[in-house]
């Protein structure tokens, strides 16, 4: 019923937000006589704020069409779906150049699979991660599909299915020369997938980089962890699981709605978001268009959320945050025990943000205690000073501090593996 109420509210606010958008445009367009009226700028700022508070935020595009490599050459980027399941698309960002030397260099660069979180936001939240990686790598990313858009006939999607999807994508790309980067929530299923492949004797990726993830949430628990740890699973089933309404392709499917996850994000720092919107209003009044555009860009991404399949969400709460099955060595996926100690070929890099309020210090580092089969010479742990959760994979600190360490670790992993095989 809550989902239906949300849809009624969205339908009610839709016309108001469209009216506010049109009014703001009429009061700011230089060719409009209304823009010359006294107080037009103040009224326009108020209308745009109303519009942005009431509008429906759709999934953004990656919008990566070109990059510039270190040699100053322009590289064209073509985005395509390389493989698709009912719940996820494997996207590839194919690079093109008309310079023979550049083409030859790109052919020999490492292949990277970025595993995006299925935790409320779209994979486009990692746009900056992908754009930066493309400078020196061939890049793929998991693009999870909004559960409300997946027909119920496609069946349920469990945490075990997530692990199986990662395995499928690794095999499709080719584990022999692959490097996997997981950001936040997927560190757990990625470690499970590679562990299972190693236990079966399959070839595993050359390296795995884990960034800000809950490998062991018992270490430095955050506000997010505490909620999952203190409420019984029945509370989550009764309070946050809802049915998709009839106006979506996935009607009848049980989900954890994105709007609830978004409300939780806002509730963690309400003052920060209130002040950000107030500053946006003041920037419009002052004519500070650059800062206003930066606000629009951030919230276009931040406010675009997706629904998660109920089975997957509840499995994650239970296995990761309540029973801690991975660090306790008790996790079975589709009847197979997850044993990270079986991993020997794959190098391990863990990265944490000093100020991370989602995955606390030590939670990702716990992977080293589990992956005892990887020699210490092929393992590394980094704590990024002054970085919060998003700072380790997006923004200036990611580009200038974190990325060079990830790039160099991938190169060292390639060299170490080639030397071992020689």
What is the average per-residue pLDDT within 344-353? Answer: 97
Q: How confident is the model at residue 309 (pLDDT cuts 50, 70, 90)?
A: very high
Residue 37 has pLDDT above 70, yes or no: yes
Q: How confident is the model at residue 223 (pLDDT cuts 50, 70, 90)?
A: confident
Lowest mean pLDDT among 4-8, 142-146, 297-301, 312-316: 4-8
Query: Which tokens belong to 54?
Result: 């009431």
Dist CA 65 CA 5 (whole Å): 39
> pLDDT of 184-204, one tens digit each?
999 999 999 999 999 999 999
Residue 259 has pLDDT above 60, yes or no: yes
What is the average per-residue pLDDT within 17-32? Answer: 86
Residue 418 has pLDDT above 80, yes or no: no
**Most confident by average pLDDT, 211-215, 261-265, 294-298:** 211-215
Dist CA 76 CA 67 (whole Å): 7
Dist CA 257 CA 77 (whole Å): 33
Would you say 244 and 307 are in contact if contact means Cβ atoms under 8 Å apart? yes
CATH class for the region spanning 66-235+308-421:
alpha beta
Annotated domain spans of the chain:
2-56+258-302, 66-235+308-421
| pLDDT score for 264 | 77
> pLDDT of 147-178, one tens digit each?
999 999 999 999 999 999 999 999 999 999 99
Considering the chain, what is the average pLDDT of its residues? Answer: 92
Using CA of residue 373, residue 377, residue 378, residue 381, what is the dihedral sign? positive
Residue 108 has pLDDT above 70, yes or no: yes
| pLDDT score for 419 | 60
Displacement of CA 392 from its chain's centroid (Å): 12
| pLDDT score for 2 | 83
Q: How confident is the model at residue 311 (pLDDT cuts 50, 70, 90)?
A: very high
| pLDDT score for 27 | 86
What is the average per-residue pLDDT within 376-395? Answer: 94
Q: What are phi and psi of 96, to 5 degrees?
A: -135, 145
| pLDDT score for 306 | 94
| pLDDT score for 295 | 87
What DSSP string describes 8-43? HHHHHHHHHHHHHHHHHHHHH-TT-GGGGSTTHHHH
Q: Is 71 exposed, middle or buried (0-12, 13-18, 19+ CB in 10 A)?
A: exposed
């Amino acid at each position: 019923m809550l989902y239906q109420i949300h849809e009624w509210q969205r339908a009610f606010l839709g016309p108001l937000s469209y009216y506010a958008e049109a009014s703001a445009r009429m009061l700011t367009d230089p060719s409009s006589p209304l823009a010359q009226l006294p107080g037009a700028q103040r009224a326009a700022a108020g209308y745009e704020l109303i519009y942005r508070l009431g509008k429906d935020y759709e999934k953004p595009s990656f919008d990566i069409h070109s990059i510039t490599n270190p040699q100053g050459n322009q590289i064209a980027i073509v985005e395509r779906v390389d493989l698709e399941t009912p719940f996820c698309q494997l996207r590839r960002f194919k690079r093109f150049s008309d310079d023979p030397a550049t083409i030859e260099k790109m052919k020999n660069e490492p292949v990277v699979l970025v595993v995006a979180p299925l935790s409320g936001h779209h994979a486009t939240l990692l746009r900056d991660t992908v754009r930066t990686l493309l400078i020196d790598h061939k890049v793929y990313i998991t693009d999870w599909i909004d559960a409300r858009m997946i027909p119920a006939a496609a069946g349920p999607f469990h945490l075990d299915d997530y692990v199986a999807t990662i395995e499928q994508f690794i095999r499709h790309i080719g584990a022999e020369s692959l490097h996997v980067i997981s950001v936040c929530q997927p560190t757990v299923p990625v470690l499970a997938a590679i562990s299972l492949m190693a236990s079966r004797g399959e070839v595993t990726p050359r390296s795995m980089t884990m960034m800000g993830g809950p490998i062991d949430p018992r270490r430095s628990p955050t506000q997010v962890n505490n909620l999952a740890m203190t409420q019984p699973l029945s509370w989550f089933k009764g309070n946050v699981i809802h049915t998709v309404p009839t106006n979506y392709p996935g009607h009848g499917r049980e989900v954890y709605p994105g709007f609830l996850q978004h409300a939780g994000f806002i509730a963690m720092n309400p003052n920060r978001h209130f002040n950000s919107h107030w500053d946006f209003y003041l920037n419009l009044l002052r004519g500070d268009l650059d800062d206003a555009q930066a606000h629009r860009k951030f919230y276009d991404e931040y406010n675009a959320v997706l629904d998660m399949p109920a089975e997957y969400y509840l499995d994650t709460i239970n296995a990761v945050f309540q029973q801690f099955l991975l660090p306790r060595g008790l996790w079975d996926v589709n009847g197979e025990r997850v044993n990270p100690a079986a991993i020997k070929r794959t190098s391990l890099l863990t990265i944490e943000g000093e100020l991370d309020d989602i995955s606390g210090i030590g939670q990702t580092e716990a992977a080293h205690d589990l992956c005892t089969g990887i020699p210490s010479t092929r393992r590394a742990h980094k704590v990024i000073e002054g970085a919060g959760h998003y700072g380790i994979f997006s923004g200036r600190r990611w580009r200038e501090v974190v990325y060079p360490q990830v790039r160099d670790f991938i190169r060292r992993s390639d060299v170490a593996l080639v030397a071992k095989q020689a």
